[in-house]
Amino acid sequence: MTPHTAQNWPIAAAMLPFPSSQDASGETWTQQLAQVAYEGFTEVDLTDSWVQVGDLDSHRLSSMDECLASVGLRPIAISVIRRSVIHPVEGVENLRYSHRTIDAAAALGIRVMSIGLHRALTPAQRDAHWFWTEPGPSDDTSPETWRLAAMRIRELGRHAEELGIQLSLEMYEDTLIGTVDGALRLVDDVDLPNVGINPDLANLYRLHRDVEDFLESSARCAPRANYWHVKSYFRDVDRTRDLITTVPAPMEYGSMNYRAAIASAISGGFSGPFCVEHYGGDGLSVAARNREYLQRMIAVAMGEAYRRVNERVAKGS
């Protein structure tokens, strides 16, 4: 495999900015995907809040493949959102759905699938301006729940491994993988080479409460990470008034120091794809800006920035 550079490192757009389009026509899919390509992306994450490819029949799955090819987008990942396999009521069906999605991913040539243990938004979260300002469901942390999570994720991991797919566990608050320790523990318990961490630490950083240090967390996750959702937030902490607030921000302007985090992660062994996300407003345009920023930060982390400056200086001398 050719080593990644800042120019060819896979950076996907999430389909989060688009509405649920499960029953839309192929023409609608193409128009939506064309917007992603128009913003300069060559890779895409088929986020299942947009289309649940695991529930498409063979004809519709072929149509999706044709739509992607027609706009020149390569699907490099699928993110399965809010389908916890340890949900006390829906866990078994979510497990079946995840298996179907692995098969669909293989049919589309996708090599990474991200899953999490977070559940559907509560009514209060759906009604809030920013859903993370309202508390959501919390995982039971009993030994039985840990064993169930490891068993079901291991089952998915083995299925994915047979098809050449990496399984990535997305960090999310109040789940078993809502802390670095929890994420590392579950990956260790699953104990498969193709199962790693998706250190989406922004899911935690945006909370209106104390959180783990971003740079320390990203450095600890990097050796076990195989995919990375990235986004940022402005975060303000006023201890005198016991007030913490966050709002979405482009990566280069937000309070999360991705310049340092990416350098640390790459030096720590991270080599997986990135997926750029953003909530609110024109999320796709911000995601495109995040991609450009990410490419610059990868160049810095890999020493390419230094080489390019030297070449420019040499040409000018």
pLDDT tens-place string over residues 188-225 = 999 999 999 999 999 999 999 999 999 999 999 999 99
pLDDT band at 2 (very low <50, low <70, confident <90, very high): low
- In this prediction, residue 100 carries a pLDDT of 98
Q: Which residues pair with 77 in a beta bridge?
A: 45, 112
DSSP code per residue over 221-251: HGGGBS-EEE-EEEEEEETTTTEEEEEEE-T
pLDDT tens-place string over residues 293-306 = 999 999 999 987 77
What percentage of the chain reaches a pLDDT higher than 90? 93
Cα(309)–Cα(76) distance, integer angstroms: 32
Instruction: Please name the amino acid found at residue 39.
Output: E
Q: Which CATH superfamily is domain 11-316 in?
A: Divalent-metal-dependent TIM barrel enzymes (3.20.20.150)
- In this prediction, residue 316 carries a pLDDT of 72
- In this prediction, residue 314 carries a pLDDT of 76
- In this prediction, residue 313 carries a pLDDT of 77
Average model confidence (pLDDT) across the chain: 96
Q: What's the mean pLDDT in 179-194?
A: 98
**What's the token pair of residue 47?**
């986020």
1, pLDDT greater than 50? no
Cα(214)–Cα(269) distance, integer angstroms: 18
Q: Which spans in 175-282 are helix H?
A: 180-190, 202-205, 214-221, 258-267
